[in-house]
Structure 1
């Protein structure tokens, strides 16, 4: 017996899927951030919290081996100090992707970063006394 004609056939290969189904209408190509970072999920150096400040060192290179257009865009934006959160918003990329790209630039010496100050030592009794004195003054 022959199988019924192609009713409800689900494609097995990407070639069988219409091109417009490989795109997310809001995010664009689904694979792009993964490709930009060569599959890396973490930067090679630096933590890059959302409030980490980044600034370009010197003039942005016109082209550098191993730098993509996103790297160059970061260099342009970082001619003045910018936070990782701001870069992420301007580039419209996932924060993990931006962190990896920033790590690449840090490795090549194109950017400098300033990590946020660590939180105050919560075991310091002076801190608690200062908070209590402040509350009493209210």
Structure 2
């Protein structure tokens, strides 16, 4: 299991803001379904890709994660769920050995997000329980 990205719940430059917990995980094929099922059972938003995105294919889902209030509307600043490509993986983990990068190509991308904005430990709790049972 490897965390590709995460978004903790932090403030935004003094403006009214809201955020939901979100994590992109790269997990092996044998345990990805357990993570997907656990997250779904907890009522979380789950996006699951079984292989890296091919070049020139759509980037997939996008779920707003962080937003701030600007006058009378919300401005979205981050989102999760886009399908990572091999190029994305090489860029994010460029310091890793080629063998490790090739292992990431075989991993499943599982994005887990809180179902709504605001403080909620469900994402962390589900991921911790999953990690403890798959160590």
Of Structure 1 and Structure 2, the greater strand share is in 2
Which protein has greater RCO, CA pairs closer than 8 Å, 6+ apart? 2
Structure with bigger gyration radius: 1
Q: What TM-score bracket applies, with the shorter chain setting the length?
A: under 0.3
TM-score between both structures, scaled by the size of structure 1: 0.22
TM-score between both structures, scaled by the size of structure 2: 0.23
Of Structure 1 and Structure 2, the greater helix share is in 1
